[in-house]
Amino acid sequence: MDESAPQFLDEPPQGQQLTSYDREHMVLYLRLLDAHRDGADWHEVTRILFGLDAAIDPVRSRRVHDAHLARAQWMSEHGYRELLRKGQPD
What string of H, E and C letters represents the secondary structure of 38-61?
Answer: CCCCHHHHHHHHHCCCCCCCHHHH
Distance, CA of 12 to CA of 26 (rounded, Å): 12
Most confident of 9-23, 51-65, 66-80: 51-65
**Residue 89, exposed/middle/buried by CB under 10 A (0-12, 13-18, 19+)?**
exposed
Q: What are 7-37's pLDDT values in tens digits?
A: 899 999 888 888 889 989 999 999 999 999 9
List Cβ neighbours of 29 (8 Å cut-off, separation of 6 or more).
22, 68, 71, 72, 75, 76
* Domain residue extents for the chain: 20-86
